[in-house]
Structure formats: structure tokens, C-alpha cells
């Protein structure tokens, strides 16, 4: 059965930031299948990663800039024959609404979470290997001894300020991913090279090998990208595929 798994490569720093934010936010949506203690540990670690991303620069500003860029490009499609103007208007309204909501957030919008006592303590050792074990951080064990609902409510309070940011990241990446059709392609001897369109810079490269036993290694620059398809058998080191590889390719640009 052909694979349905797409491997992605961001093509600029802003999209790389958004995809990292998306990765972190996904840890809060694992549902009911994960045991509560494990899920809450995942959410705590994700929250610490999120605070690190927020602390490195004006993350909200970068997301707003991407929303505005997309809005400006989408408005150029208005009144073009064949464009679904009702759907386009709905998308533009969503983009504008999220832009407005993010712009209204003050400089201290995330501070209640940043300054939360437990999180501030855990952040000091978050980048130390196994730095938040129970003997290093007895306050963490004490927190996990609290009632489940108390912990759940506290996690919800900490993540709530980031809800608009999460929705904006999801919308931006969804629009970018849906901007390009998937094209059947071929990599001779497991290698493929593609020249990018400089008139309409792409934001994300998406690759899906037909053979589920292969995975792509994507290297991208400003003008071109390459894909090497690797095959791993059992636990042996992966090697580049020697045969021609059929795959699906999307160069997403909006």
C-alpha cells in the first residue's frame, strides 16, 4: 500500500518557527488515550518548550507578519474568474480576525504563565538532561500528588493565553499546505533535484514516497532543493536507495 505520510521542510526562518510552535501545541491534543500522568508530563514539557520559544524573540510579531503577508496575497485573488469568492472572503475574515486579536495582546499577555512559580522553577533545569527528576525538583512530585482535576485546571490556565497564537499558527500552516497541488514525481537512483520559482517563493516542501519503507532527506537553499531517499532495513544504518523512486511532491507557496 502506498504511503500517505508527508515529510516536510520549511524554507525560511519564520515558517520554521511556526512549525516548531505547531509541534509544541500538538502535545496538548493527545486526547483520552494517553494515561493522565504521562499526558500531563508531556504537557508540562511542551509548555516549557513553548516558553523557551516565546522568550527568544517577538514570536507573536512574526506570526502577525505572516498573517498579513498571506492576507495581502489572497486579496490579489479577488475578482479573478474561477475563484470561490465566498470561501476566499471567509478565509480573509478569519485571517483578519486572528491578526486583530494578536495585535490587541499587550506585551505582558503571556507573563502570568511565564511567571508561574512551578514553571519558573522547572525552566531553570529544563535544558539539563533529566534535570527535572523528582530528587532534583521535589516541588514537581508535590504537584503531581495534587488531585487530577486541580492539575488539569492549572495546566488549562497556563496554556489559555496561547490559544489565539495556536489558532493563528494552525490557520497559516493549513493555508500554506493547501496552496499547492501534489505532483507525481520520480527520483532517479534515489536522488531528486528541483529548481525553485524565484518569482513566487515557496514556504514548505512536502514529499511523500510511494514506498513506505523509504524516507526522504530534504536539503533546501534559496534557489533549489534536493531529496535523497533512504532505505533502512531492520536496525542497520540507512543507505540511499539505488533504484528509481516514485513519490508525490508539493512546493507550497502562497
The CATH number of the domain holding residue 147 is 1.10.3900.10
- Domain boundary residue among 125, 144, 176? 176
- Domain boundary residue among 148, 176, 204? 176
pLDDT at 205: 97
Residue with the bigger pLDDT between 198 and 17: it is 17
Q: Which residues pair with 192 in a beta bridge?
A: 227
Q: What is the C-alpha to C-alpha distance for residues 211 and 224, in angstroms, rounded to an integer?
A: 24
Query: At residue 9, does pLDDT exceed 60?
Result: yes
pLDDT at 30: 63
Calculate the average pLDDT of the chain: 92
For residue 246, the enclosing domain spans 180-252
CB 25 within 8 A of CB 216: no
Query: Same domain for 93 and 146?
Result: yes
Q: Let me know if residue 221 belongs to a domain.
A: yes
pLDDT tens string 139-162: 999 999 999 999 999 999 999 999
Q: Let me know if residue 224 belongs to a domain.
A: yes
Q: Let me know if residue 2 belongs to a domain.
A: no
Q: Let me know if residue 6 belongs to a domain.
A: no
Distances (CA, A) of 85 to 80, 173, 179, 201, 253: 9, 21, 16, 24, 20
Overall number of domains in the chain: 2
pTM of the model: 0.91
- Domain boundary residue among 136, 154, 176? 176
pLDDT at 32: 58
pLDDT tens string 78-92: 888 988 999 999 999
Query: At residue 130, does pLDDT exceed 90?
Result: no
Query: Same domain for 68 and 130?
Result: yes
pLDDT tens string 182-226: 999 999 999 999 999 988 899 999 999 999 999 999 999 889 999
Query: Same domain for 114 and 155?
Result: yes
Cell numbers 512546493: residue: 251
pLDDT tens string 28-62: 876 556 778 888 999 999 999 999 999 877 899 99
Residue 207 DSSP class: E
Amino acid at each position: 500500500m502506498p504511503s500517505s505520510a508527508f515529510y516536510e521542510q520549511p524554507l525560511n526562518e519564520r515558517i520554521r518557527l511556526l512549525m516548531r510552535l505547531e509541534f509544541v501545541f500538538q502535545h496538548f491534543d493527545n486526547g483520552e488515550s494517553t494515561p493522565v500522568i504521562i499526558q500531563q508530563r508531556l504537557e508540562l514539557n511542551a509548555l516549557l518548550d513553548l516558553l523557551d520559544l516565546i522568550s527568544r524573540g517577538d514570536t507573536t510579531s512574526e506570526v502577525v507578519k505572516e498573517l498579513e503577508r498571506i492576507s495581502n496575497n489572497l486579496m490579489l485573488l479577488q475578482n479573478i474568474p474561477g475563484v470561490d469568492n465566498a470561501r476566499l472572503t471567509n478565509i480573509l475574515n478569519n485571517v483578519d480576525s486572528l491578526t486583530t486579536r494578536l495585535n490587541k495582546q499587550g506585551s505582558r499577555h503571556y507573563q502570568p504563565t511565564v511567571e508561574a512559580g512551578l514553571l519558573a522553577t522547572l525552566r531553570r533545569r529544563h535544558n539539563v538532561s533529566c534535570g527535572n527528576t523528582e530528587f532534583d525538583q521535589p516541588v514537581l512530585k508535590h504537584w503531581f500528588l495534587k488531585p487530577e482535576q486541580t492539575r488539569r485546571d492549572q495546566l488549562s490556565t497556563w496554556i489559555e493565553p496561547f490559544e489565539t497564537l495556536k489558532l493563528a499558527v494552525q490557520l497559516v500552516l493549513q493555508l500554506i499546505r493547501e496552496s499547492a497541488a501534489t505532483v507525481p514525481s520520480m527520483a532517479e537512483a534515489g536522488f531528486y533535484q528541483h529548481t525553485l520559482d524565484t518569482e513566487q517563493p515557496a514556504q514548505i516542501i512536502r514529499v511523500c514516497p510511494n514506498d513506505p519503507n523509504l524516507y526522504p532527506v530534504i536539503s533546501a537553499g534559496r534557489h533549489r532543493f534536493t531529496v535523497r531517499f533512504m532505505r533502512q532495513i531492520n536496525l542497520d544504518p540507512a543507505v540511499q536507495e539505488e533504484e528509481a523512486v516514485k513519490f508525490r511532491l508539493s512546493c507550497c507557496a502562497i
